């Protein structure tokens, strides 16, 4: 092999190529073996159901029969643009350089390599991709669809196809990958195959690209390191109490419920951006819940079990601090469940909660936003089948769903860097946390999807739980809601809509710049994202509220800190949690989803 490859190249290069071919053969066998372990796919979660495809086909036939000129015009424009692009590349080849672009592709980081502009071949490929993408989007925009849900689903599916077919996703049309392969004498492609095999082996036969280096971080050692102890443990959660950083603390303790879709240490990544550390430094006796990562034995755990866990954690905090009341925080789905818990306490006449804060929380699901494609019956029925098979909504499916809301950033871009460029995933704490996903108990997942998301029961006829019919208007405690302007998971306008319906007379709403995570993990020291606050109009829609608010530069943490301090009572001697059961961050946080 080496002798054959040596012709036209050095012996060292030939030997290296031969070695790489042997590595590729070995990796190929491992890849086939790993792919063979993939379980039988579930069609319900792999593609849209036949109803959507039939809707699209009927809409196309209707448009063609009623507006044939419009359809023909779209087709003729596509042909014309394609022929013009071909003629341009012919002239560019003759000149030896492509003509200057006048499109928006220069703003697209996928096309940042200068060859997309200067090289006739790559310039032609890029322009044709943009022509194809425009033609697809124009064709779907012309469809006469029955309702807004169908429109949003078709638009989403079209965008997915457009992003998937980008020339950067293919080796032969990716100049960065080709340049790297030449520079490394093919080593980058071999390393890329190694990365692919690693990901497939790790994920039971599924191709799930690693977003971060899993070996770069250890929870409790270089992330999630705030000083505390586990003071209570149940089969569903551990309760962590953090050691005080001040000689005196506020009388009213603070209990944080993080989401159980991911792990709690998003609030304690590093000392520089740790909300846990900051709250302790503000003089709060801080408790946080670390949820269990469920396995199949948790299949019958439902929303009622999580609400019961909220009540149990509150009781434990009250016992440990000898305080009858406490302040509470809920983040994302934990904020939704906290709202249910507050409604339950109201109906029971229990006033243990002094104030509540909701981070990026949805309680009114009348507008399903970017999740509309995943909340229709075809996909939810597919999830129900998954739950029936595994007892869980598995972390891999949840992670994949979230990733395809931002496919270029969380799917195709990382795959290109890992599999084509041969790069190792970055040592980035936020992406490490993002990849440390959790399973959801089957019963709880279906209650959430069917009852809260699809039927919008909490904001409509009432959500049945624990013998009560809970309504959003039952939330009457002093309330602060923090949302994020570019949040695609819990859009701020929808969070606002829920808060506006709550019965609290004391309501504060904060709108932070940035997204679902960066807008919350926004320490004052960074001075990065500003926020809106002070609006008091909760009767004329979210835009009127924003217009009545004021904008301030920098983090919202200090403003919320002032709000919280006003409701946290007098100062008392600091409370030392002692030895507890074992040190923070506890044991449950280390359990990874299978």
Q: Where are the alpha helices (DSSP H) in 210-364?
A: 275-281, 303-321, 333-348
Euclidean distance between CA atoms 267 and 240, whole angstroms: 13
Q: How far apart are CA 186 and CA 193, in angstroms?
A: 11
SS3 (DSSP) at 436:
coil
Cβ atoms < 10 Å from Cβ of 582: 12
**SS3 annotation, 441-498:** EHHHHHHHHHHHHHCCHHHCCCEEECCEEECHHHCCCCEEEEEECCCCCCCHHHHHHH
- Cα gap 484→492, rounded to integer Å: 6
Question: Alpha carbon of 258 to those of 124, 239, 338, 588: distances in Å?
Answer: 49, 12, 10, 14
Contact 193, 29 (CB under 8 A): no
Q: Which residues pair with 512 in a beta bridge?
A: 484, 531
How far apart (Å, rounded) are the C-alpha atoms in residues 175 and 119? 10
Residues 6+ apart with CB under 8 A from 467: none
Please identify which of the residues 332, 453, 480, 484 carries the catalytic annotation: 332
Measured between alpha carbons, how far is 128 from 125 in angstroms, rounded to an integer? Answer: 5
CB 330 within 8 A of CB 360: no
Please state, in angstroms and rounded to a whole number, the distance separating the CA atoms of residues 443 and 497. Answer: 27
User: Environment class of residue 121 by beta-carbon count within 10 Å: exposed (0-12), middle (13-18) or buried (19+)?
Assistant: middle
CA 365 vs CA 356, 372, 456, 497: distances in Å: 20, 10, 5, 9
For residue 484, the number of C-alpha atoms closer than 13 Å in the C-beta half-sphere is 21
Q: How far apart are CA 426 and CA 418, in angstroms?
A: 10
Distances (CA, A) of 136 to 6, 149, 166: 47, 19, 13
Q: Is 101 left (phi over 0), alpha (psi -120 to 50) or beta?
A: beta
Best CA proximity match to 276, nearest among 258, 293, 251, 250: 258
Give me the phi and psi of 241, to 5 degrees please.
-110, 130
Please count the other Cβ atoms lying within 10 Å of the Cβ belonging to residue 39. 10
Q: Mark whether 484 is an active-site residue.
A: no
Beta strand pairing status for 507-512 and 479-484? Answer: parallel
CA distances in angstroms from 105 to 100, 109, 367, 390, listed in the order given: 12, 8, 32, 44
Whether the upstream peptide bond of residue 585 has omega within 30° of 0, thus cis, is yes
What are the residue numbers of the active site?
Answer: 332
């Amino acid at each position: 092999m080496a002798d054959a490859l040596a012709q036209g190249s050095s012996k060292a290069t030939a030997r290296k190529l031969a070695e790489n071919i042997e590595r590729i053969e070995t990796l190929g066998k491992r890849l086939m073996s790993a792919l063979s372990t993939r379980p039988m796919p579930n069609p319900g979660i792999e593609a849209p159901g036949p109803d959507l495809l039939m809707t699209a086909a009927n809409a196309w036939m209707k448009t063609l029969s009623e507006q044939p000129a419009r359809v023909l015009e779209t087709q003729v424009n596509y042909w014309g643009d394609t022929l013009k692009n071909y003629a341009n590349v012919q002239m560019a080849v003759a000149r030896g350089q492509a003509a200057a672009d006048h499109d928006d592709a220069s703003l697209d980081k996928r096309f940042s390599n200068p060859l997309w502009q200067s090289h006739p071949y790559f310039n032609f490929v890029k322009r044709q991709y943009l022509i194809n993408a425009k033609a697809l989007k124009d064709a779907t925009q012309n469809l006469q669809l029955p309702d807004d849900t169908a429109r949003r689903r078709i638009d989403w599916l079209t965008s997915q196809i457009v992003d998937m077919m980008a020339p950067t996703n293919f080796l032969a049309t990716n100049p960065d990958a080709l340049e790297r392969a030449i520079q490394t004498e093919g080593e980058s492609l071999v390393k890329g195959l190694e990365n692919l095999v690693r990901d497939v082996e790790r994920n039971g036969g599924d191709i799930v690209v690693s977003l971060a280096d899993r070996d770069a971080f250890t929870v409790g050692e270089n992330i999630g390191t705030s000083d505390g102890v586990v003071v209570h443990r149940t089969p569903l959660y551990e309760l962590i109490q953090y050691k005080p950083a001040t000689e005196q603390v506020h009388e009213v303790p603070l209990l944080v419920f993080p989401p159980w879709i991911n792990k709690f240490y998003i609030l304690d990544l590093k000392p520089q951006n740790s909300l846990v550390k900051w709250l302790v430094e503000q003089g709060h006796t801080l408790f946080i819940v670390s949820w269990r990562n469920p396995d199949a034995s948790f299949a019958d755990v439902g929303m009622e079990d999580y609400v019961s866990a909220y009540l149990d954690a509150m009781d434990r905090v009250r016992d440990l601090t000898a305080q009858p009341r406490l302040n509470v925080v809920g983040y994302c789905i934990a904020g939704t469940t906290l709202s249910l818990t507050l409604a339950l306490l109201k109906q029971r006449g229990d006033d243990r909660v002094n104030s509540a804060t909701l981070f990026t929380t949805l309680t009114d699901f009348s507008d399903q936003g970017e999740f509309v494609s995943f909340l229709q019956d075809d996909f939810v029925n597919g999830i129900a089948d998954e739950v029936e098979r595994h007892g869980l909504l598995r972390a891999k499916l949840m992670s994949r769903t979230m990733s395809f809301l931002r496919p270029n950033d969380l799917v195709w871009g990382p795959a290109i860097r890992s599999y084509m460029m041969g790069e190792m995933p970055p040592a980035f704490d936020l992406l490490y946390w993002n990849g440390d996903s959790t399973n959801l108990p089957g019963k709880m997942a279906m209650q959430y999807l069917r009852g809260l998301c699809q039927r919008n029961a909490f904001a409509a006829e009432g959500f049945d739980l624990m013998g009560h019919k809970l309504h959003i208007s039952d939330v009457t405690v002093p309330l602060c809601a923090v949302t994020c302007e570019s949040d695609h998971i819990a859009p701020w306008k929808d969070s606002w809509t829920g808060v506006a319906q709550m019965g609290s007379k004391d309501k504060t709403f904060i709108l932070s710049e940035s997204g679902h995570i960066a807008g919350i993990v926004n320490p004052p020291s960074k001075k990065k994202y500003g926020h809106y606050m002070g609006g008091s109009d909760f009767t004329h829609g979210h835009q009127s509220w924003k217009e009545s608010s004021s904008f301030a530069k920098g983090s919202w943490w200090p403003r919320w800190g002032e709000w919280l301090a006003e409701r946290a009572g007098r100062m008392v001697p600091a409370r030392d949690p002692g030895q507890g059961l074992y040190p923070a961050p506890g044991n449950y946080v280390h359990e990874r989803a299978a």
